[in-house]
A and B are shown apart, each in its own frame.
Chain A
Amino acid sequence: NAGVTQTPKFQVLKTGQSMTLQCAQDMNHNSMYWYRQDPGMGLRLIYYSASEGTTDKGEVPNGYNVSRLNKREFSLRLESAAPSQTSVYFCASSEVVTGGPNEKLFFGSGTQLSVL
């Protein structure tokens, strides 16, 4: 019953360092997403992958890259971390076969990232 698994749970980086956040789901979902959560704001979509082999920009993609490695895994990479990327990052997945309105998201437990 793992659902959506994210690693790491916590990370501290120095400005300019790079890192990759890993996400995997075991629900055979087609679509996967990366969100960031900042205080006082709603979850904002960074990138999403509608299906294996495709990725698209969301609302706040600058400074990030993604890879949909296979149907299970969707990683988020920060090439040169900046203090503005300090945030809580959530990976999510959904079945989205028809793109209908009932496709709820299943979330990972989040990664708290601090960039000094």
Chain B
Amino acid sequence: ILNVEQSPQSLHVQEGDSTNFTCSFPSSNFYALHWYRWETAKSPEALFVMTLNGDEKKKGRISATLNTKEGYSYLYIKGSQPEDSATYLCAFKISGGYNKLIFGAGTRLAVHP
């Protein structure tokens, strides 16, 4: 059974803090790793799609790294703002699995002013 683990489950930080969380996935048959941002009462939106070991992607204050050999990805938020409050989902795509993504349960981030 393929499993994607995200930690921590939830996180509370103060405005201005930097934070990071982890996505762990099977290191075999890797094809791609997706990160999505899901704000309450809205649709999940894609942040990053990463495919190569050592990939590093950045979007404003949010960045992500990928280690396919050991099966993990980190998401970093620099200088958190209240509008960063959301659930961050990672999803792992296996090779040969068409476009079927296996999602983790998410990390719920709350940024307090």
Given A4-B43, A101-B32, A107-B43, 6 further pairs, Cβ under 8 A: A40-B9, A58-B100, A99-B99, A104-B49, A106-B46, A107-B36
Name 7 interchain pairs, CB-CB below 8 A, sorted by A: A4-B43, A31-B99, A35-B103, A43-B44, A44-B103, A45-B101, A102-B51
Report A's interface with B, CB cutoff 8 A.
3-4, 31, 35, 40-45, 48, 50, 58, 90, 94, 96, 99, 101-110
Per the 8 Å Cβ criterion, residues 69-106 of B in contact with A are: 89, 91, 93, 98-106
B4 closest partner in A (C-beta): A42
Q: A31-B99, A45-B100, A94-B99 are in contact. Are A40 and B46 (CB under 8 A)?
A: no
Residues of A within 8 A of B49 (CB): 101-104
Other-chain contact of B43, A31, A41, A99, A109 (Cβ < 8 Å): A109
A35–B91 CA distance with the chains assembled, in angstroms: 13
| B99 pairs with A42, CB closer than 8 A | no
Interface size class of B (residues with CB under 8 A): 20 to 34
Residues of A within 8 A of B9 (CB): 40
| A42 pairs with B104, CB closer than 8 A | yes
Residues of B within 8 A of A42 (CB): 4, 89, 91, 102-106
Other-chain contact of A107, B44, B98, B102, B105 (Cβ < 8 Å): B44
Residue in A3, A90, A107 whose Cβ sees the most chain B Cβ within 10 Å? A107
Residues of A within 8 A of B41 (CB): 109
Residues of B within 8 A of A109 (CB): 41-43
A96 closest partner in B (C-beta): B99
A35–B44 CA distance with the chains assembled, in angstroms: 12
Residues of A within 8 A of B93 (CB): 101
| A103 pairs with B45, CB closer than 8 A | no
Query: Shortest beta-carbon distance, A107 to chain B, in Å?
Result: 4
B92 closest partner in A (C-beta): A42
Other-chain contact of A40, B4, B100, B105 (Cβ < 8 Å): B105
A103–B89 CA distance with the chains assembled, in angstroms: 16
Q: A42-B105, A43-B89 are in contact. Are A103 and B43 (CB under 8 A)?
A: no
Residues of B within 8 A of A94 (CB): 99
